[in-house]
A and B are shown apart, each in its own frame.
Chain A
Amino acid sequence: MTKISLELGSGGRLMRDFISGKVVPLFKNPILSELHDAAHLPGGLALTTDSYTVDPLFFPGGDIGSLCINGTVNDLVVSGARPAYLTLSLIIEEGFELEQLEKILQSIKRTARKNSVEIVTGDTKVVPQGQGGKIYINTAGVGRLLGRPQPRKIKPGDKILVTGEIGEHGLAIMLSRNNFPLVSGVKSDCAPLLFLLPLWTQGALWMRDITRGGLATVLAELAQTISYPLLVEEDKIPYSTRLQGAVEILGIDPLYLACEGRALIVAPARKAELILKRLRSNPRGRKAAIIGEVQTKTGQPGETLLKTSTGGLRLLEPLTSELLPRIC
């Protein structure tokens, strides 16, 4: 690779190789090397940053404004921290409609309020027409640590949970980007994961929000973090019926569709049922499910296996290239 390709940003192997090969070694320090969604700072603080670019800017179920707050809030939550303060940087392309900008700012305000976070500093830049995609947003967030992901404590028999139906965000974006008149009512799952915070003191060992690359990619990352293989069951993964119909037509594997308000959780077997009950008692977690288990017998360390509905075993690889609907 001599030039940056779009695929580098799609959250797959290429990006991980780039980060671990070209970025981390340069800035090497113990905090960075943890490679959490947020950095754990001395003094019980967590810090994270994320940049947001999405086409279209407004999509069913959300917009770049709600995305840039929920995304950063969720990164803090899955790192064990209660989000408190956020920064907001706007990079706007010359000629962008003020009305749209105001709509986005209103959405940011609403979402921040819903998450009880304050936007405390920010920056605005304007780039010449043609040099930016309408608007890019960066937010950074700090929060206070309530718990700590403990990947080293994960052992065979521990349960793997998802907090809700997967893939809706990726599908909503794909459908609205391409003006598909195909399926109606698919909405982004873009939402805050604050309701997961109490789980840090109720036995959760590890959490990760399922974003680009979808469930399969997060599972693959988890498998590579711990020294045991994972086994998940296709029949237990929650999908909406709407999504199942759409992915059949588009020929897309829903395991690789992005979410923006779902997480994967690992918990010890004896605590998993309680955590599931807690999740389901929240409207955002009503469809939560235990989808699999950390293994010793099946598979090799680092592998994620999917037990298919038909009873076969399939290896789940992380996302390697952007999702495009198929030819036939």
Chain B
Amino acid sequence: MTGSVSHRTPFSDWRTRETTEHLLRAIEAETRHLPAALKLMEVCGTHTMALHRSGLKPRLREAGIELISGPGCPVCITPDYYHEAVIDLLTTRNDIIVCTFGDLTRVPTRKGSLQTVVPQPGSRLKIVYSPEEAVQEARSQPDKQVIFFGAGFETTIPGITFTVKTATELNLKNYSLLTAFWLIPPALKAIIESGELAINGFIYPGHVSVIIGEKPYAFIAEKYHLPGAISGFEPADILLGVLSVVRQIRSGKPLVANEYQRVVKPQGNPQALALMEKYLSKTPADWRGLGIIPDSGLKLKPDYSAFDALKKFSLKLKPGQAGKTACRCGEVLKGLIDPGNCPLFGRQCRPDSPQGPCMVSYEGACLIEYKFSGAKDHD
């Protein structure tokens, strides 16, 4: 060792052609003995993206693996009426600052998108990268009401919820959360039980698993006898996950494999889980495409209702009123159809004129398909 700092490409070991080829061959060696191609669901949108970005999807298809995109895109599964409630606030009051993540601002609704509506003078939208920025905004703008519109899974829920703790300590009266918090395991249960899809196994989301650990997926192996593997997001990570699932299928012993051990601990992140436990309670939640799933959402406990934008501003979330369009995001989210099967895909619905959230989010199956698979203009 010379002691000098090496300037290696980040993650380079997980992206090399040699590693990829090696893993693909190993997968092929297993699938060769199976009668038909396997259908695995990659639950997480970041997996969908990584698969396309690295060009792995066709390679896996050759190796006998069909990957189906799951509901793991928070922007995509948050129903329109959340956005509409926020739009109402911005367009009727003159003291509101809505802070939110970038891709939430482009979702089209009957009332426009957060980015296209013109707020009342005095109100505005601010794109933030960390929920903490919203708290800072509330501190520096004491005469405004700052609302953080946070949509997310277990990955981002603790970070967003932490702002309630910070705001309490700072005694901020002008900060609140509009939560669109979704839990992955109950959604997987709903997908399995709907029986609409013949899935042979799951690639579990790495980021979510960092928080929740391995155990919340155990019922899928035990009760439904479906294999699964927690995976990271580099090409080699995903292939390791696929290989694990294929081997579980061949051995007939489904389990929850952890192929992302460099980051995911079996018990998850106890601090984050404790924070969620303290501030949040389970609630039925309405997933776009999947409908209402019991205990699949989280909301602020009554003790913290001072920070709950729903209560503070008497917001009405009006389910079931989404405008009728030919958009089939719902079925895409369930893995029932490929984006290309939607009549709007690549025609009216394009990244610069999205008709549904799956074409908006960077993790949306439609946007990813459009960007990476060369959807051509049809009109």
Residues of A within 8 A of B363 (CB): 326-327
- Expressed in whole angstroms, the minimum distance between the Cβ of A59 and any Cβ of chain B is 17
Across the interface, which residues of B come within 8 angstroms of A13, CB to CB?
352
The answer to whether A309 and B54 have CB atoms under 8 Å apart is yes
Contacts of B46 in A (CB 8 A): 328
CB within 8 Å for A328 and B55 given contacts A12-B352, A310-B20, A311-B21: no
CB–CB B374/A315 < 8 A: yes
- From DSSP, what is the main secondary structure of chain A's interface residues? loop
Contact status of A312 and B54, CB under 8 A, knowing A5-B116, A327-B104, A328-B152: yes
Query: How far is B9's CA from A245's CA once the two chains are assembled, in angstroms?
Result: 8
Instruction: Confirm or deny: B310 has a beta carbon within 8 angstroms of a beta carbon on chain A.
Output: no
Stretch at the interface among B81-89, B242-250, B327-335, B365-373: B365-373
Q: Mark A305-327, 1 if CB is under 8 A from B, else 0.
A: 01111111111010011001111
Chain B residues positioned under 8 Å from A251 (CB to CB): 362
Query: What is the CA–CA distance of A237 and B59 in the complex, to the nearest angstrom?
Result: 23
Contacts A309-B54, A327-B151, A327-B156 given; does A317 touch B103 at CB 8 Å? no
A328 touches B153 (CB 8 A): yes
Asked whether, in the complex, the Cβ of B53 is within 8 Å of the Cβ of A324, the reply is: no
Q: Is the CB of A312 within 8 A of B58?
A: yes
CB-defined contacts of A328 to chain B, threshold 8 Å: 46, 74, 152-153, 155-156, 207
A180 at the interface (CB under 8 A from B): yes
Give complex CA distance A14, B353 in Å.
Answer: 10
Question: Chain A residue with minimal CB distance to B235?
Answer: A310
Q: Find out whether the CB atom of B17 lies under 8 angstroms from the CB atom of A309.
A: yes
Q: Is A29 an interface residue (CB 8 A)?
A: no
CB distance from A175 to the nearest CB of B (A): 10
A165 contacts chain B at the CB level, 8 A cutoff: no
Residue among B11, B59, B102, B371 with max Cβ neighbours from chain A (10 Å): B371
Nearest CB on A from B205, distance (A)? 10
- A98 in the interface (beta carbon within 8 A): no
Contacts of B39 in A (CB 8 A): none
Within 8 A of A (CB), among B44-60: 46, 52-59
A241 near B9: Cβ-Cβ < 8 Å: yes
Known: A241-B7, A310-B56, A326-B103. A1 touches B370 (CB 8 A): no
CA separation between A315 and B59, bound complex, in Å? 15
Shortest distance from the beta carbon of A288 to any chain B beta carbon, whole Å: 19
Q: Nearest-CB distance from A328 to chain B (Å)?
A: 5
Contacts of A315 in B (CB 8 A): 372-374
- B217-245 contact mask (Cβ, 8 Å, vs A): 1 or 0: 00000000000000000010000000000
Residue numbers in B under 8 Å from A260 (CB-CB): none
Give Cα A6 to B102, complex, Å.
Answer: 14
Complex interface: chain A residues within 8 A of B115 (CB): 6
- Are A309 and B374 interface neighbours, CB within 8 A? no
CA–CA, A98 to B299, complex, Å? Answer: 51
Task: Tell me the smallest distance from the CB of A233 to a CB of chain B, in Å.
Answer: 11
How near does chain A come to B337, taking the closest CB pair, in angstroms?
Answer: 21
Q: Is there an interface contact between A327 and B16, defined as CB atoms closer than 8 Å? A: no
Known contacts A245-B10, A308-B53, A328-B156; 4 additional CB pairs below 8 A are A14-B352, A180-B129, A310-B17, A315-B373
6 tightest A-B CB contacts, nearest first: A312-B55, A324-B102, A320-B351, A315-B374, A310-B20, A311-B17
Listed A/B pairs (28) with beta-carbon separation below 8 Å: A5-B116, A241-B7, A245-B10, A303-B374, A307-B55, A308-B54, A308-B55, A309-B54, A309-B235, A310-B20, A310-B54, A310-B55, A310-B56, A310-B235, A311-B55, A311-B59, A314-B52, A314-B53, A314-B372, A315-B374, A317-B371, A317-B374, A326-B103, A326-B361, A327-B75, A327-B103, A327-B104, A327-B156
**A residues adjacent to B (C-beta < 8 A):** 1, 5-7, 12-14, 178, 180, 241, 244-245, 248, 251, 253, 303, 306-315, 317, 320-321, 324-328
